Amino acid sequence: MAIAHPPFIGSEQATVEAALMVSTPSPSRPPVILTQDELKKVAAYKAVEFVESGMILGLGTGSTAKHAVERIGELLKQGILKNIIGIPTSKMTHEQALSLGIPLSDLDTHPVVDLAIDGADEVDPYMNLVKGRGGSLLREKMIEGACKKFIVIVDESKLVKHLGGSGLAMPVEIVPFCWKFTAQKLKLLFKDAGCVAMLRTFSETGEPFVTDNGNYIIDLYFKKDIGDLKAASDAILRLTGVVEHGMFLGMATTLIVAGELGVTMKNK
């Protein structure tokens, strides 16, 4: 996806940093087209502006969050940030953070997190989220549920009228034992919404995708709005065999969106 953006010149980093400020294109300076990944980086850089030295940080997972983790590593190396401790939401982020020299810990040692920064797969008008298409929803929810402030960073393609509205997956992490039984229960739970429940697999081998916690993921696809999200959440979690779902309801405190008009920010 490419979206028109106000004009910026210079290196890639300078482009992203300049993109944090909105300017008006002129006939002599036509708009530069930023890719979806560049928009993600713009949002990520803006979120990192909220990071202060001495913070305990929840480090998100995925294509957007990786830019924030990278930026935090850069600022630590430059000495702009000091005494940061990161708590990664996945093995992938753990490895990235270590490679950048970010000191790491866990919730057992630091049960209260100052700030978490992460992306989202969908965001509705009330800042409810769908997360977990990368497979890290359980650890993300544990860490981001323990933070004082949770900043969500997205490009504008992730904005939806209602959760499930993109037509893409709403993930549910389940135990592998009798997964077909659990998948059928999930499908029946949302039959009025035209739900399709599919085991997430690797396209190359057909083998089940296994989370960092040793579980499977059932991806739910909806043809209609599922209605009351709190009721849907409670119903999913009551099913034996379900570990967690990808709806993050009422958790985000700040939303940062990068789009064709620049960067917008919304607080809860």
End-to-end CA separation in angstroms for the chain: 28
Helix H or strand E encompassing 85 = strand 85-88
Cα→Cα distances 104→57, 98, 101, 115, Å = 9, 8, 9, 14
**Neighbouring-strand partners of residue 45:** none
Tokens of 8: 């910026």
| Region of residue 234 (phi > 0: left; psi between -120 and 50: alpha; otherwise: beta) | alpha
Q: Is the dihedral of CA 25, 257, 127, 130 positive or negative?
A: positive
If you ran DSSP here, which 8-state letter would residue 208 be given? B
Catalytic residue positions, numbered: 140
Q: Cα–Cα distance between 237 and 235 in angstroms, integer?
A: 6
82 burial (CB, 10 Å; 0-12 / 13-18 / 19+) is exposed
Assign 102 to helix, strand or coil. coil
